Each structure stands twice: as structure tokens, then as C-alpha cells.
Amino acid sequence: MDKKLVKVITYGTFDLFHQGHYRLLQRAKQLGDYLIVGITTESYDKTRGKLSVVDSIMTRIENVKKTGFADEIIIEDSPGQKFSDVKKYNIDIFTVGSDWTGQFDYLKDYCKVVYLERTKDISSTMLREKKQHIQRIGIVGTGRIANRFIPEAKLVSGVTTQGVYNPHKESALQFAQKWDINAYTEKEEFYQEIDVVYIASPHDTHYDYIKEALAHGKNVICEKPLVLKKKQAEEVFSEAKEKELILFEGIKTAYCPGFQKLLGIACSGMIGAVRNVEACFTKLEKPGSRERTDRLYGGSFFELGSYVMFPILKLFGTEYEEIAFDTIDDENGLDLFTRVSLRYPSGVATATCGLGVKSEGRLLISGTLGYIVVEAPWWKTSYFEVHYEDAGRIDKYSEIFLGDGLRYEISDFLALLNHNEKNAFKLTRGDSIALAGIMEKFMNEKRLGRG
């Protein structure tokens, strides 16, 4: 009688293929007769927080193939897959490295589980860090968003938060102590000790800080809105280009996996041609808050406008035919609530935001065959539905959104810094320039034009 084939399975990312991977596969193959290797997809790695993978899935598959140990290669795309693969492929032995010891014991009811000793002193993480000099980030500003940035940056390998700059010594010291980083009140010293500037200061200071950071040869991540004038946006981008530096606007929605999935579906034809987009974001702020008192730069639109305009620009583009702003103003003249109406050759859009009026905060994308609806907080997209004329049919999609979501933008920024342009389409220079132009129009019509 024929001897039964012993089937072995193993999984991994196999990024920057190294000796540890080779030895693991070699020993895995020796455990049986037929080796199946599961290789993670980029989206699965993202969902499990592995954000800095360098090689594409094709390269990783090629590298595993080249070893000659794999009889079959499959892709791993979801957390529950190992269990079903063991059943599906009739697996006798499941194996991974000893860094996972104990974690797959639940499979012991279905096959043998072997943890192979991990090869010492080598890992993809180590190679990534060697390959890429660790980027030291210096933060400008000590507000709410800066506080969110630090724990998120800790989750992206390849960056470290070096310190914070604030001209007000007390604020800088307090913030630095809280996060155990350096405090800088002297700009030259700050610039000397960092590679990247993260600008999270009040809106009106962005332009000067960007120019200064670029002049010091630093790459920049700047919170939205990047700047409030189109010319300024063009100027800073062309300066960055000239100096071969990266200038990156931080609109976190642009980089989160769920929002990318949503754009993909909206543009795929599933809902036909997109004809109407309605985006709303409201966040009540107290009357005495900076957002509701800064006479020139406060108000709903400067605060939240980038979020609500963004899906419109991504779906309809930057070439609108008409734009009109409608506001409900506070006694001090700042907009408590703003509605922007846009007309495009192929459709219409409204962007609504409010600091003093609460609304349902929904994103609705209507097409000729159906519509996509995302409830608040759609700007951190994790779930959305596609509806059709047939009310009984609803397609539901979900996607992970971890923490405050800044980790996605930081990891995309880092990829750009390492000359990997594959994510640059998510928020382009053109998008940022158009947004600055819309901010400028609002400033002219609603702030300066008040007489």
C-alpha cells in the first residue's frame, strides 16, 4: 500500500527574505513530504498592525519560491484562515517559529503542531531598521492631535519621536515630560536633532513652519489644513520638490484602509456612475474653546472642512464648476455650521460641518445604480453599506481601523521617504492644493469679505 503523504503547512510575511526564513522553510520541509507555505497579503498585514512591510506580495512569493522548499504557495488573508486551511488541505503538521510558541496550540485537535527554533539575531524588523535609518520626528505643537500622534508613531517601525518644539517653555516641558521625549524651545537645536517635522500647531502657523522646516532640509508631515492659500500650497510643494524633500498633508481618513476600500467600490461601477456626494462631520466645541474664539482661523470650516471636502475631491476631482458656502455664524462671526455646495460636470456635492450644530455626520455617495452609506465616524471608516433599487439587497463591508488611525498615515509617509511611491495616490499634491484653494475662497468670502 502507498505510504500516506505527510503534509506540512507554515505561514509568514517573509519580508526582506533572510536566513531565518530560509532555515525555517528548510526544516519545515524536512518535517514531511509536501510543504504548503501561506504568505500574508498586504491588507491582512495592515489589519494585524504590521505596517512597515517593504516587499510586495509578488516579491515575497518569488523569494519563497526560489528556495525550492515550497510545494505549494497560498495566500493568507484573514485571521481565521489557518484553522480552515488545516482542514481544507488535510494537514498533518502545522509549523511556525518558536516566537509563536503556544499561540497555535488550538490546532492540536486537528494536526500536530511544531514550533521550530527561531534563528537567532535576524528578523525582517532588524533588516528594515538597518536598511532604513530610523527617522527622528520632532513635533511642533503640543495640542490634542500631538498627544494622539505619539502613541500611534510608536506602532510604526522605522520612526521615533525625538522631541517637541513649543516657543512656550512650560508647554514644551510639560508635554515632553508626559511622553518622555526632549523639549526644545530653541529652533536651531530642534532642527539639528531631527529628520522629520510633524506640524500640529494652529492652522495659521503651518505655512511658516513648513517653509522653515524645508529650509532646514527636513521632511514634513503637516496636519490639515496644510495652508489656507492656494499660492502658498503651490509654493511649499515646489520648494519641497526642489529640495527633494517630502511634504505630506496629514488627513488621516485618506490613509485608513476602510476609506480606501470604500473609494475602490465607489469607483468600481457597482453603484453605477457617481452623481451625488454628501459628507457631514460635526463636533460640538464649547463656546470659549480656541476653535470657537480664534477670530480669523477658528470656526467649523477651517477646523473640519478638510475632512468633508476630501471624499468629494477624491470622487469628483478638483475641477469643480461652482462652489458656494452657506454658514450659520456665532455672535463673534465665526461659522458654527457651514454647508458647501459644489457642482461638477458629472454631479453635485455638499460638504457640511459644524462646531455648534449637531448633525448625523454621514457620508452618502449616490450613483446611477445604488448608493453607499457610511455612518459617523465615517472619517475613520470601518463599516459601510451598499444599497440598490432592490431594497432587499444590501452589501455590507467592514475593515479594521486601529487606534486613532494615525499609524496608517505615518507608515505611508515612511514608505514615501523610502522612495516607495505606491501610496502617493491617496492624497496627492493636487488634492492638497485644491483644498488650500477652497480654504482660501472661504476665507475671502466668509471672513475677510464680511466688511
In the complex, which residues of this chain contact ligand CTP (CB under 6 A)? 12-15, 20-21, 24, 96-97, 99-100, 118-119, 122-125
- Which lies closer to ligand CTP via its Cβ, residue 122 or residue 373? 122
| Minimum CB distance to ligand CTP, residue 332 (Å) | 52
H-state helical runs in 245-335: 252-255, 257-266, 290-293, 300-316
For the bound state, the minimum distance from the C-beta of residue 97 to ligand CTP, rounded and expressed in Å, comes to 2
Per the rule left: phi > 0, alpha: psi between -120 and 50, beta: everything else, 405 is left
Nearest distance, CB of residue 76 and ligand CTP, angstroms = 11
Nearer to ligand CTP, 17 or 237 (CB): 17
Cβ proximity to ligand CTP: between 100 and 325 the closer is 100
Query: Cβ 5 to ligand CTP, closest distance in Å?
Result: 22
Q: Which CB atom, from 29 or from 252, has the smaller least distance to ligand CTP?
A: 29
Q: Evaluate the CA torsion angle 409, 413, 414, 418 in order and state its sign.
A: positive
Pairing of strands 370-374, 363-367: antiparallel
CB of 118 to ligand CTP, least distance (A): 4
Least Å distance between CB 98 and ligand CTP?
Answer: 7
Backbone angles phi, psi at 420, to 5 degrees: -105, 110
CB of 58 to ligand CTP, least distance (A): 16
Residue 99 or 186: which CB sits closer to ligand CTP? Answer: 99
Is the CB of 104 or the CB of 248 nearer to ligand CTP?
Answer: 104
Residue pair 222/420 in contact by the 8 Å Cβ criterion? no
Instruction: Determine how β-strand 247-250 pairs with β-strand 182-184.
Output: unpaired
Which residue, 23 or 380, has its beta carbon nearer to ligand CTP? 23
Q: Give the whole-angstrom CA distance, residue 160 versus residue 169.
A: 22
Longest dimension (CA), the chain: 96
Three-class DSSP category at 69: coil
Strand-by-strand arrangement of the 34-40 sheet: 72-76, 34-40, 7-12, 93-97, 112-116
Closest-CB residue for ligand CTP? 97
Contacts of 112 (CB under 8 A, 6+ apart): 92, 93, 94
